[in-house]
Amino acid sequence: MNALIRDNISAMNGYVPGEQPKEVKVVKLNTNESPYPPSPKVAEAITKIVATDRLRKYPDPLGSEFRHSAARVLNVPAENIIIGNGSDDILTIITRAAVGEGGTIVSPTPSYILYKTLADIQGANFVQVPFSNSWELPDPWPHPEAQLTFVPNPNSPSGTVVSLKSLRKLAQQLTGLLVIDEAYVDFAKESALSLLDLPNVVITRTMSKSYGLAGLRFGFGIADGELISQFQKVKDSYNCDVLSIAGATAAIEDQQYLQRTIQSINQTKIRLSKEMIELGFDVTPSETNFVWCRRSDIPLKPIYEELKALGILVRYMRYDGYGDGLRVSVGTDEEIDYFVSHLKHVMGRELVQQR
């Protein structure tokens, strides 16, 4: 233990994000980035800022420009939106505002592992509630007393969704906040925005996945205006910079471009799912830009490793009490063809070894 650091920090494992290789030749299907560039309007907006003397001054702390654009697109009041340096920043702000040391944070499992890191930093207890076999939430919910409950919807790594009806039921049972993490909602059939009539619901969104802006770092939260003003007290004053606010605003304004991107990704996803099923994987129907692939006849870790050696990165994930799987992000059609043809070779070798 390090005497200079709080015990819970010394004791915890830090969050380990998916690998970000330096080599450009890697086919990267491991962290659910968009395979397509962002709207060209993003570069235009950023270039315009750089050409003025705007960088010399501090950014707008509340990101009013972005809030107004997002409010118009989502049909919610601008006062109900908070901006963040990625949606992970929003998740951190909410946690710091709602949960003290010794408090409780709950999330279903298997799901996004950052929630545990947030609990560890806070010195809070972290409780995991298993999803049912068909990826539903238990009802009644076993931990209504938690200060904070995170539900990613659609979920990662499964790509599945729970119904708005069961989310509403959950929110009504909870005495604390329910955060619905909608990082992948643009690929899904419906969003939980209609649940914002409930005073304890917060929805988080990111520009990292569907908008192709993971490198820009921009996310936002939507909730009751009173909750949002409490969250504003917790965030860094200037958590988003001038360039990211301008870029994110241009991106959310270009809904036509977003819809085209989503359509391409959803089409490629259908093809990828079919190929994986033909190769003998159990593929969970996905409302995201990735597919969750499992099988029990051969070990999956060596497949992940062999693909990696060939310059193809997918995400190998294993959860206590559940097992493992490969999470494959939907790339371009060319990337998916390349991935599938190499996977066929790897699988051939693995299946021979097995006999």
Ligand X SMILES: *Cc1c(COP(=O)(O)O)cnc(C)c1O
The residue within the footprint of ligand X, chosen from 35, 110, 219, 247 (CB under 6 A), is 219
Q: Does 247 bind ligand X (CB under 6 A)?
A: no
Strand, coil or helix: what is 294?
strand
- Binding characters for ligand X, 92-131, by CB under 6 A (x = yes): --------------------x-------------------
By CB under 6 A, is residue 254 in contact with ligand X? no
Out of 81, 97, 214, 228, the only residue in the binding site for ligand X (CB under 6 A) is 214
Structure tokens at 300: 């999956």
Distance CA 187, CA 154 (A): 9
Q: How far apart are CA 244 and CA 240, in angstroms?
A: 6
Residue 32: CB minimum distance to ligand X, A: 6
186 binds ligand X (CB under 6 A): no
CB neighbourhood size of 309 (10 A): 9
Choice between 204 and 275, CB closer to ligand X: 204
The residue among 76 and 207 lying less far from ligand X, judged by its C-beta, is: 207
Q: Which stretch binds ligand X (CB under 6 A): 80-88, 246-254, 270-278, 344-352?
A: 80-88
CB of 179 to ligand X, least distance (A): 10
Q: What would the two tokens of residue 217 be?
A: 């770092």
Distance in angstroms (rounded) separating the CA atoms of residues 181 and 322: 22
Give the amino acid at 160. T
157 lies in the site for ligand X, by CB under 6 A: no
**Which residue in 30, 95, 147, 206 binds ligand X (CB under 6 A)?**
206
How many whole angstroms separate alpha carbon 210 and alpha carbon 265?
9
The nearest distance, CB 181 to ligand X, in angstroms, is 5
SS3 label, residue 327: strand
Contact with ligand X (CB under 6 A) among 35, 59, 110, 152: 152
Closer Cβ to ligand X, 152 or 331, answer by number: 152
Give the whole-angstrom CA distance, residue 275 versus residue 106. 36
Strand ranges, E, within the chain: 27-29, 81-84, 104-109, 125-130, 148-152, 177-181, 201-206, 219-222, 282-283, 290-294, 312-319, 323-329
Helix (H) or strand (E) holding 259: helix 255-278
Position 244 contacts ligand X (CB under 6 A): no
Select from 30, 69, 80, 87 the one that contacts ligand X (CB under 6 A): 87
- The reply to whether 156 sits near ligand X by the rule CB under 6 A is yes
Which single residue brings its beta carbon nearest to ligand X?
Answer: 86
Whether residue 17 has a cis bond before it, omega within 30° of 0: no
- C-beta closer to ligand X: residue 31 or 172: 31
- Integer Cα distance of 298 and 318 in angstroms: 15
Return the range that interacts with ligand X (CB under 6 A); candidates 86-94, 98-106, 167-175, 255-263.
86-94
Closest C-alpha to 291, from 308, 306, 272, 304: 272
Smallest distance from ligand X to CB 309, Å: 26
Residue closer to ligand X, measured from CB, 31 or 64 = 31
Footprint of ligand X on this chain (CB under 6 A)?
86-88, 112, 152, 156, 181, 183, 206, 208, 214, 219
